[in-house]
Amino acid sequence: MIKKSLAFTLAEVLLTMTIIGVVVAMTIPTLHYQRVKKEYTTKLKNFYSRMDNAILDMETDYGSFRDLRKPDNGKGYDWYMKYIDPYVGHQYVKDGNKVFYSDGSLLTTFYSGGCLDVDYDVNGLKGPNRAGYDRFRFLFCFTNDNRNYWFGNENIFFGSYGSGSVAAGASRDGMISKCQENATWCTRLLQNDQWEFKGDYPYKF
């Protein structure tokens, strides 16, 4: 009886290695994306929670947010550093208005009236530095009209950037549509999804 050889030919070895290489090449980007999504979700959750807690602590010292003095135009950074940063803390400040945190994230502010815009970049100066990808906008709003418009509730001082109709409870499909139209509005969609990047989130990174 002739025994079958268990040895592989060179062609079979090369074919197997090619298949493995293709599988690895397809798997690594997926694993990377899943890891990054989890990291971004964690940072966004922590950031939002820190802001909420900072507001509560600030109100202990300064009274209701309704009574706070609004920032002067172009002075949003000064307002943030006085009223919010002491209760959040930062690692260092660069270029005069870039606030860096110990987890590598970055915050910048600007104010032109009504609300203080806060851009939170989850990975700091690393790219792509684009709204909806690694940069997400939040707002501190100082009037009832602005709070109603942006958050759908005059009792909310800080929240995610989004049109009034979205913030007031539009459908999730509507939030996705807004996010696709303007990536800055994606923050509202993410808040709705508990800061998770669902499979139908419009942007991949």
Number of domains in the chain: 1
Residue 113 included in any domain: yes
Distance from C-alpha of 126 to C-alpha of 146, rounded to nearest angstrom: 32
Give the domain extent around 66.
Answer: 11-192
pLDDT at res. 90: 94
Residue type, 181: E
Residue 2 included in any domain: no
Residue 5 included in any domain: no
Distance from C-alpha of 205 to C-alpha of 197, rounded to nearest angstrom: 11
Residue 28 included in any domain: yes
Residue 203 included in any domain: no
pLDDT at res. 131: 97
pLDDT tens track for 24-37: 455 556 676 788 89
pLDDT at res. 153: 87
Distance from C-alpha of 113 to C-alpha of 128, rounded to nearest angstrom: 28
Radius of gyration of the chain from Cα atoms?
Answer: 23
Q: Which residues of the chain have pLDDT under 70?
A: 1-8, 12-30, 32, 163-169
Residue 151 included in any domain: yes
